[in-house]
Structure 1
Amino acid sequence: MRKHKLLTATALNLTMGLLAVAGMSGQALAATTINTATTAPVKTSVAGDLTVDTAGSITVTSGNAITVDSNNSVTLKGKIDMLKSAAGSTGILIDGGRTGDLTVSANITVTDDYTPVDTTKAADGTAAPDGIVEAPFADSVARYGIHSTGTTPFIGNVIVNSGSTIAVDGKNAYGIRFENNIQGNFTMDGTITMNGDNNTAVSLENGATGNVYLSGTINSHGKDSKAVNLSGNFGGSVIIDGAYTGTGYATTSSLSSSVLKTVLATPEDLYQSGPLVDISGNLAKGLLIGSTVTRDETTDANKANTDQDGDGNADTTQSTATLTNYGSAPALRIASGTSDITLGGLVYGTTALNPPAVNYGLLVRGSITGSALYQNVDSVAVQLGGLGHAVTIANGIGIKGTVSSTAYGGNATALSVQSGATTPLLDVQGTNSWYGVVGNNSHLNDHQWHHDHDLRNSRQHHGPRHRYSVGRQPAQDQCRRRWGRLCRRYGIDRTCRGHTRPVEHPDEHHQQQHHQRHHNSLRR
């Protein structure tokens, strides 16, 4: 087998496809398979369609492990290791708009050479470590797992399969970043772990023409960090059913009273993350926060139907979303500071057995949780609008899962409908733990709020569905009267303070008890 001269020196064991002659300038490879370890970066302009097999790997400490600089596909079955890597290191760089598919079924690791330290000091300035390392949790340079640059669209499908892991350290770092539009489908079903300030696990910044399916697991740790950022125009369905967690805190573990006191006195331990899922683009087919599917197997036709909920994904591959943000930023924010945005109604395929009567623009079947965790921190689970531009959610909002928010001495809000947000209906059918619904110059156009749970903390009401008139932003006396009616109906001892939500102010001991219980439940 003849090897390309640029690859011979790397001592790779390569399986090459047919060679195509490119004039007198040399040969271009139609396909290359790497099935052994290499320490040399690879470009598709040399390798052609590239496969890193399960026995293969690429290990480098700077630059790009794989550069897609031609119209070719990449299939990653073997790992990319960029441990202790330099600034700007990138696992897979897509250089400008290219045509081809990207399939990742292996690990991409792009980490720093930094170890966070415990810098806690006593009142006299001497070292008094408490066992908790302080921020920052990574060094101060950017790195990328997958990065597509430029404004020309990427044409093809992107799939990150279950079982793959992307781990990236650094400030302003990204697990997956597409600056350009994707003309195709995008699927993330792997695991992404991020450490560092202002990091983002998945950032699709110029939309996609196909379907976007965000599943798998994301853990984002750092000040102003995010799990998902979606902006631009999305023409297909957008479904999130992953287990995503974010925080800027140094720890979310259960703490003893003495350690809790030092944490509360250490600003570096209490940095706030950004919104866990941040949507500032147009979603033509709405947003589904998904869940597992209870299948109907009563007939042969139903058994043969692999997509009984009609969302475009096989029922057996779907999971229940758990979006949890620790801190003051919302777990889900739908808002824009640059342009008006619209979420159209969800679209169900012909395979759907029992599609909802209302094609909500936002449907929550999974779980969305905002947890302040520490004392005197506000908490929001879902925020709509409030950044200066209109947010229109077609056909209404359906809550069939769980939306919850907790705070200890701060304000806790499950759904915050802020200035500029417009939707015709809020339909709550799930079992939820809500501290309140806040409106600020927002519109529920048909003046209806469907509701089948109470507003008491973590208690459940299993009576019939109730309908409340909430209307447009009410005057303060209207708000007080309506809130009073709800309180009397459910025996809630709360006061209405204008248009803000009711809050509790537990002392530190009370906070510590809730802190302990909360994390015990997480461990279970």
Structure 2
Amino acid sequence: MRKLLATAAAIAPLLAATGVQAEVVISTDRTTPVTTSGSNDSVRIAGSGSIAVASGAALTLDSNHSIDLDSGSEINMLKSADGSTGILVQGGRTGSVTIGGAIQLTDDLETAVDTDKDGDLDGPFSTGTNRYGVNIVGASPFTGRIYGETSSNISVEGNQSYGVRLQSDLVGDLDLRGLISVRGDDTYAIRSQGDVTGDVYVAGTVAAIGKNAVGASVEGDVSGSVTVQGQLSSTGYRYTTRPS
């Protein structure tokens, strides 16, 4: 019997030739933003890992790489500044975004109060503006899949804010199967404004609460199918059931 042994020196060019890539894995709690260009590689947040920042973009795809949030991972932007973004994706790039963990952006509104003493809470739903769970931007299309797994949880507080917003064109599927919730006036849980060369699939539980809140809006052309399953809701009321 003939046996072949491959040395490390021999394996390296083979991996390069077949396109096998490594990735940067975040497995601890990090308090500074991360970019794929700065990492010069794809970025994965493991189930034990997190990124916690309060402004800007926590995680940016700005090179031909991918982003992956494992189940249990977190992006936390608590009491975040206006314009904060959990994951920013730049058009003109090729890669993918897979979300199995949690993305949370909150405002600085601690609790609503019953100012007129009539038995229900009053005041604004949220404070601050223009927060994004996932924001895909740019004049050129992003090529790749945007995928929210069933374990994904995207939660955003803020007026004129978005759970997932597609502003550029997308060559690939927009596939969202987890929990997406937004709270604030003029908000969208999902807003797809660019053209999609692929399918749009919305499942799981999608909810928007606030004046002029929208659960899901598909405004651009879609070459494939548009499928909505699961629970999709929007309301401008703080309470949706009659008090007892």
Shorter-chain TM-score range: 0.7 to 0.9
Shift of 1:186: 1.3
Task: Say if 2:74 is the partner of 1:65.
Answer: no
Identity %: 38
Runs (4 or more) in structure 1 with deviation over 3 Å come to: none
CA offset digits 1:50-103 (Å, max 9, x no partner): 111111111111111101111111111111011111111110011333210110
CA offset digits 1:282-328 (Å, max 9, x no partner): xxxxxxxxxxxxxxxxxxxxxxxxxxxxxxxxxxxxxxxxxxxxxxx
Partner in structure 2 of residue 100 of structure 1: 95
**Alignment partner of 2:135: what SS?**
strand
Partner in structure 2 of residue 84 of structure 1: 79
Which residue of 6, 29, 33 maps to 2:25? 33
Counterpart CA distance in 1 for 2:166 and 2:92 is 10
Which amino acid letter does the alignment assign opposite residue 196 of structure 2? Answer: A
CA contact (8 A) 2:145 2:172 kept: yes
CA contact (8 A) 2:107 2:128 kept: no
Counterpart CA distance in 1 for 2:148 and 2:182 is 16
**Alignment partner of 1:114: what SS?**
coil
Give the number of the structure whose residues are more often strand, by fraction.
2
- Per the normalisation by structure 1, the TM-score is 0.41
Residue correspondence of structure 1 range 118-133 to structure 2 within 5 A: 118-121=113-116, 128-130=117-119, 132-133=120-121
Shift of 1:120: 4.2
Residue correspondence of structure 1 range 266-415 to structure 2 within 5 A: none
CA offset digits 1:473-504 (Å, max 9, x no partner): xxxxxxxxxxxxxxxxxxxxxxxxxxxxxxxx
Partner in structure 2 of residue 163 of structure 1: 151
Which amino acid letter does the alignment assign opposite residue 115 of structure 1? Answer: E
- Per the normalisation by structure 2, the TM-score is 0.87
Which amino acid letter does the alignment assign opposite residue 94 of structure 2? Answer: T
Shift of 1:117: 2.5
Q: Gaps spanning 5+ residues in structure 1: where?
A: 1-17, 19-28, 122-127, 257-524
Q: Gaps spanning 5+ residues in structure 2: where?
A: 1-11, 13-20
- Root mean square deviation, CA, Å: 1.6
Task: Say if 2:76 is the partner of 1:74.
Answer: no
Shift of 1:151: 2.0
Shift of 1:154: 0.7
Which residue of 130, 133, 136 maps to 2:124? 136
Which amino acid letter does the alignment assign opposite residue 46 of structure 1? Answer: G
Partner in structure 2 of residue 422 of structure 1: none
Residue correspondences, number: 222
Give the number of the structure whose residues are more often helix, by fraction.
1
Partner in structure 2 of residue 244 of structure 1: 232
Residue correspondence of structure 1 range 213-224 to structure 2 within 5 A: 213-224=201-212
- Higher relative CO (CA 8 A, sep ≥ 6), structure 1 or 2? 2
